[in-house]
Amino acid sequence: MAKHFNILAGMAGAVALGVMAVTPAAAWEPTKPVDFVIMAGAGGGADQIARFLQSVAEKKDLTSRPLVPNNKGGGSGAEALIALNTTNDPDHTILVTLNSFFTTPLRQPDLGVDITTFTPVAMMGVDPFVLWVHKDSGITTFEQWLETVKAANGEYVMGGTGTGQEDSLVITFLKDAYGLDIKYIPYDGGGAVAKDLAGQQIMATVNNPAEAKGFYEAGDVVPLVAFSDERLPAFPDVPTIKEKGQDFSYYNQRAVVGAPGQSAEAAEYYQNLFKTIYDSEEWQGYMTSESLSPLWMSPDEQKEYWALQVERHKELLANMEE
C-alpha cells in the first residue's frame, strides 16, 4: 500500500512541481477542498443560499480548492455546530448559518457549543419575515387579521418550520403582544409550509418572502405585515409591525462563520473571498430578487452582533416557554 502511494506520489510530484512553479507564493490558500457545512438539510432556503454562494465561487474561479457543500441539518443544526467544534482541520472548515446558530446552543445547552469561539467570516445579508394569509380568506389588513384570529377562539391554525424555529418566535411575539390564541403546526421546511397555505390546509404563516414568492406573484397569498425595520422594497404597500406601534423586528441571518481555532490567515482568506462574492453582481441580484436585506459587517461587528443576538434570543425563547 505504502509503496503504491510512493510511486504515485513520485509520478504526480513531477507534474505538481510544474504546476506550482507557475503560481506565485502568495498569502494563505486552502490546500484541500474546503468543507462547506450547511446548517440545514438539502433543498431548504439556507441550502439554496449556500449552493448559490458556492456556484458563484465556482463560476468566477475564486478558490484554488473547491468549496464542497456538506448538509448537516440534524437536530436543528446541532450536528453542524458539533462538526465545526470537533473538526481537526479548522482552516478548511466553514459554516453557512441561520438563526439556529444562536437558538440551538441555547435550547440544547448540553451540546457544549460556545458560539463565541467561532470565527466570524461574513454577514451576507438578512432575510426578513412577512405574515401571509390565503387570498380566499378575504383578509387584507393586519387589523382584520387580528379580529379574525380573536373570533376563531383558539381554532385559528398557523403553520411553521417548528417550535423554537425563527417563525415560531415571531408567532410567539404576536401571541403575547395581542393576546392571541393560535394553533401552531410544525412542518419540516418553509416550502411545505408555503404549499399548505396555498392549499388552505393552514390559515396563515410567517415566512420569508423567498419561500412565498411564487404564490404571491400568482395572487394566491396576501402579505399583511412585515417584521422588518423599514418597508421592504419588494412589498412597498405592506406596512411594518413598527408602524403598528410595536417595537419589534426579526430577521434570519445568512452568514458564514469559520470553525473555532481557525488561524488568522485562513480567516482573512475567507473574509476576502466572501467579500468578493458579496460584491459580485450575482449576489447583489440574488439579494434583490429574493428580498434579502443587505447588512455587511466587519468581523468585529459580527462578534458584537452575535452577542446581541444571543441575548435577544434568550429573551424570545424565555417568552416561548411561558
Partner 1 sequence: MEILELLSHGLFLAIQPMNIALIVVGVTLGLFIGAMPGLGSVNGVAILLPITFLVPPASAIIFLAAIYYGAMYGGAISSITLGIPGASTAVATTFDGRPLALKGRASLALVTAAIASFVGGTVSILLFTAFAPPLAHVALSFGPPEIFALMLLAFATFVGLGGDDIPKTVLSICLGLVFASVGFDQISGAPRLVFFGISGFLHGINFLVLAIGVYGIGEMLWTLDTTRGKITSTEARMTFAGIVADTRECFAKAWKGMSIGSFLGFFVGILPAAGATPGSLMSYGVAKMTGRDPDSYGRGNPDGVAAPEAANNSASTGAMLPMLTLGIPGSPTTAILLGGMVIWGLTPGPRLFTDQPEFVWGLIGSFYVSNFFALVINLSFIPLFIWMLRMPFTILAPMIFVLSVVGGYAATNDMHDVWLMLIFGISAFFLRKFDYPLAPAVLAIVLGPIAEPTLRQSLLLSSGDPSIFFTRPIAGTITVIAIILILLPLVGVIRRKLRGTNKASA
Partner 2 sequence: MRLGEIVTAAVLAALSIYMMWKSTDLNIGYVAGKGPGGGAWPFWLSAIMLVCTIVIAFNWARRTSPPSRSTEPVLDADGRRMLLQVGGGIFVFVALINVISIYGAMALFLFYYLWFLGRHALWLALTISIATPIAFFFFFEALMRITLPKGMSFTDPVFNVLYDIIY
Name the residue type at position 35: D
12 interacts with, out of partner 2, partner 1, none, CB within 5 to 8 A per kind? partner 2
Using CA atoms of 52, 57, 63, 66 in order, give the dihedral in degrees to the nearest 10.
40
**Radius of gyration of the chain, Cα coordinates, nearest whole angstrom:** 22
When CB distances are held under 5 to 8 angstroms depending on the partner's kind, the choice from partner 2, partner 1, none that residue 20 binds is partner 2
Binding of partner 2 by 298 (CB under 8 A): no
Q: Select the binding partner of residue 239 from partner 2, partner 1, none (C-beta < 5 to 8 A, by kind).
A: none
Least spacing, CB of residue 251 vs partner 2, in Å:
29
- By CB under 8 A, residue 218 contacts partner 1: yes
Closest contact distance (angstroms) between CB of 195 and partner 2 is 22
List 29, 33, 141, 294, residue binding partner 2 (CB under 8 A): 33
- For residue 268, the partner it binds in partner 2, partner 1, none, with Cβ less than 5 to 8 A by kind, is none
**DSSP secondary structure code for residue 123 in this structure:** E
Q: Interface with partner 1 by CB under 8 A: which range of 25-33, 173-181, 214-222, 256-264?
A: 214-222
User: Of partner 1, partner 2, none, which one sits near residue 269, judging by CB under 5 to 8 A according to partner kind?
Assistant: none
**Residue 199: helix, strand or coil by DSSP?**
coil
Give the integer Cα–Cα distance in Å for 60 and 312.
38
* Pair type for strands 130-134 and 221-226: antiparallel
d(CA 57, CA 63): 7
Hey, which residues does 122 pair with through a beta bridge?
A: 256
173 near partner 1, rule: CB under 8 A: no
CA dihedral 65, 58, 213, 190 (to 10 degrees): -20
Residues in contact with partner 2 by CB under 8 A are 1, 4-5, 8-9, 12-13, 15-16, 19-20, 31-33, 35, 64-66, 68, 88
